[in-house]
Structure 1
Amino acid sequence: MFAQENQETSISKMLNELFCELEHCNEDEQRKKIEEMNEMMNEMNVDEIKSIFTKGLFNKMNKMIEEKKLSIENTILLLKHVGFCKALKNLHDYRFRYSSLNKRMEEMIIEEEEKKEEKNERLLVDLCECYISLSYNFPPKLLSICVTCLLKAALNKEESEENQKEVEIALLALSNTEYNEIDKELYLKEITEIIKYQQKHRNLTKLAYQSAWQFLIYRFFNDDSLEEVIVNELHFGREAARELEELARCIDWKKKGGVEMNKEETKDELILMRWLCPFFDFFRSCRSWNEEFVELISSITKVFRAAKNNFCHIRDQCIHTFLNAVENMAVKIEDLLKSGAVDAVLEEVHQSTLNEDTAYECLLFFLNISERMKEEEDDEKEEMKRRSIKMEIFEKMEEEGYEDAITSFHETTDFLNKKCYYQLSLNISDYFVNA
């Protein structure tokens, strides 16, 4: 039933035992045990969740439903929380998609949606939340039903704590649609209203607001016509910068651990990391540029500096973002200077704990700057500005002893060859912006 590990954690064993007891309990007892299981899940890391919630387990749940040993209501209570934890922790695990329970969910959603009378709206929302947060690569008909249903739930502006939680779950589930193509008519008006209302009234939780933006940014990946709405109407740069800085103030950056020490991350750490992931796609695709994005890169730089000692996964995601920004011709090199990104990456090159992947991205960052700074401008004023920026960057490189660092990397031939870093030049002069 469960994937057994040689060394199961005590919390995994306890959750395993509780699940095994479910088929011998009445519905009320089941509910109490599932609520206990949900509390345990909050303390589990992604590996523990993956080890327990397997395709075999989901098939077992489906069989229990067929044998009337587990009610749909209690199944939903458990699955909603599994989906919530999976989405929050950015766990990409697709085994549910191939289970018999996934098929049952799809059939139930279509059946409930097609009812002419006595449609159970609450049940439909619950089913959609479970299905979207646990599965992937959704059939178009089901995706349309779920997106429409979940956006309707997320538009509920009631300010009770219970409703805020339901809105959060609905938006978190929507963010799990990732790159699935969705007709703009199904979501744009609604998601814009949700974001604008939050900007005015601050009615959403931090996770709900991040999830709304993540859903929209993933749509942008397939539809660049959304850029005007995202950049100028909804002010993504300004909003993301503010949210990032507020979250950064809530994190204990000096603590040892995070995922590197197999410790569970706090909710604020998880939400901050969820912001950084769509930045990667946004900076790769965005063609508009304004001062708000200088503010955003400045906020990312602050997070990068705070994270670099004890939160390597956050540091690395910041570097990914810087790299995508410098490769995007819409992003001005002077803004990377102004925001502190150039200084931050220069500092990272000197870290004694620098690993090869991070070193590669740092070098590629400067290789891109160097290439862009070699392109002369036709306009005299722009050419003078380009030369001034080149001089400023070159002086920073000299001050930081950047040449010695690059030389040491080139002396380590394994660094360039072992992982086939073909994009890196073997000519040391290519990494410098020569004035």
Structure 2
Amino acid sequence: MIAEEENKKDEKNEKLLVDLCEYYLLLDNRSSSELILICVPCLVKAASNKENSEEVQKEVEIALLALSFVGIWKKIDRELYLNEITEIIKYHQKHRNLTHLAYLLAWQFLVSRFCCERSLEYVITYELHFAREATRELNELIKCVDWKRKQEEKEEKEEKEAKDILALMGWFEPLEYFLDPYKIGDKEFVGLVGSIVQVLRATKENNGDANCVYTYFLRKIVENGAVKADDLLKSGTVDIALEELQQATLNNETVLHCLLFLLNLSWRLEKKEKDEKEETKRKEMKRKALEKTEEEGFEDIIESFPEILVEVQFQFGFRFPFIASDYFVNT
């Protein structure tokens, strides 16, 4: 039906074509390359509607949602989407015409293309300022959600708040696509790390899943060197990792992310600098990090985890140093 509608020689039913493309992408994650060539430009065009009405906002949301279902490894020519999706994001940055969820979905689609199209890095990072926008959105969404609402009230959340929570958690997906071991970030990532810390503080008593997601992100940040060690210390990442390790309801995956975050940070602080000024700075950072771990009782925390460390190693196939507690404490 999509192909038939697209190939009509007389006037097409644009609304029908949009609906068919949405249904197809939402229901079939193995979408064919031939139909992708029809669906992507059709839905990008639908999402470009700038009319400021509630009905149009919902239509734009659904079109962007369908686009976000396109597989990350599907190769799509830039000509089919890049100018339009860039314009959608830039227009929102200036006029704030999209919902939080729609804006996230636009980014999800664009950043997911980064997996196959590494040349998009400049557009995403420096033209559209991905890290800056993610920081701003997270800061706004934290304020939109009533995290202290009682459980029975949460079950009857208003639609808007439910969407805001979905958007808040959803930012993890494009962040994960964009951050890999070979990606070096820029200064805007420093502010983003601070926002992640704020999200963790806001959600840790209400949503354990969120903590696992965002501790994983902090781990990725320190692993790929996107943020300097001193900026990590200043933004409160060490504090939040230690606080997470002291939670009574901690799950093994969060333990893994927190320990690997601290492990990688310690490795970076151990690496001596050739420049005398930078070496003095490194020693001072290491001293501050050590004082922080001593203040928070890090040694006691690690030594109380022998069984959990064994389980973490078994579950995730990760091998910590032979005597894990001694290694972490001494480093």
Rate the CA distance shift 1:429–1:256 in 2: closer, same or farther, 3 A: farther
Number of residue pairs matched by the alignment: 325
Say whether residues 1:327 and 2:223 are aligned partners: yes
In structure 1, distance between residues paired with 2:249 and 2:105: 33
In structure 1, distance between residues paired with 2:196 and 2:309: 32
TM-score (ref. length: structure 1): 0.70
Which of 306, 324, 330 does residue 410 from structure 1 map onto?
Answer: 306
- The corresponding residue for 1:400 is 296
Aligned-residue identity in percent: 53
Shift of 1:328: 0.6
Uncovered stretches (5+) of structure 2, i.e. residues with no partner: none
- The corresponding residue for 2:30 is 137
Mapping of residues 102-181 of structure 1, within 5 Å? 108-179=1-72, 180-181=74-75
Shift of 1:132: 1.2
CA contact 1:280–1:321 (8 Å) conserved in 2? yes
Say whether residues 1:348 and 2:239 are aligned partners: no
Q: Indicate the structure (1 or 2) with the bigger Cα radius of gyration.
A: 1
- The corresponding residue for 1:431 is 328
SS at match of 1:419: helix
In structure 2, distance between residues paired with 1:314 and 1:401: 25
CA contact 1:125–1:149 (8 Å) conserved in 2? yes
- The corresponding residue for 1:3 is none
Which of 178, 201, 211 does residue 282 from structure 1 map onto?
Answer: 178
Shift of 1:371: 1.9
Rate the CA distance shift 1:223–1:251 in 2: closer, same or farther, 3 A: same
Rate the CA distance shift 1:187–1:263 in 2: closer, same or farther, 3 A: same
Does 290-299 or 262-271 show the bigger shift? 262-271
Shift of 1:178: 3.9
Specify which structure has the bigger relative contact order, considering alpha-carbon pairs within 8 angstroms and separated by 6 or more residues: 2
CA contact 1:251–1:268 (8 Å) conserved in 2? yes
- The corresponding residue for 2:106 is 212
In structure 2, distance between residues paired with 1:354 and 1:143: 42
Mapping of residues 247-286 of structure 1, within 5 Å? 247-257=141-151, 266-284=162-180
TM-score (ref. length: structure 2): 0.91
Does 237-246 or 418-427 show the bigger shift? 418-427
Shift of 1:133: 1.8
Rate the CA distance shift 1:245–1:416 in 2: closer, same or farther, 3 A: closer
Shift of 1:379: 2.3
In structure 1, distance between residues paired with 2:236 and 2:291: 15
- Residues 178-203 of structure 1, C-alpha deviations (whole Å, 9 max, x = no match): 41222222111111111111111111
- Residues 190-230 of structure 1, C-alpha deviations (whole Å, 9 max, x = no match): 11111111111111111111110111111112222111111
Which of 96, 114, 123 does residue 202 from structure 1 map onto?
Answer: 96
CA contact 2:253–2:312 (8 Å) conserved in 1? no
What is the Cα-based RMSD across aligned positions, in Å?
2.2
In structure 1, distance between residues paired with 2:327 and 2:118: 33
User: What letter is aligned with 1:431?
Assistant: F
In structure 2, distance between residues paired with 1:413 and 1:130: 45
Shift of 1:384: 2.1
CA contact 2:263–2:328 (8 Å) conserved in 1? yes
In structure 2, distance between residues paired with 1:209 and 1:199: 9
User: What letter is aligned with 2:174?
Assistant: P
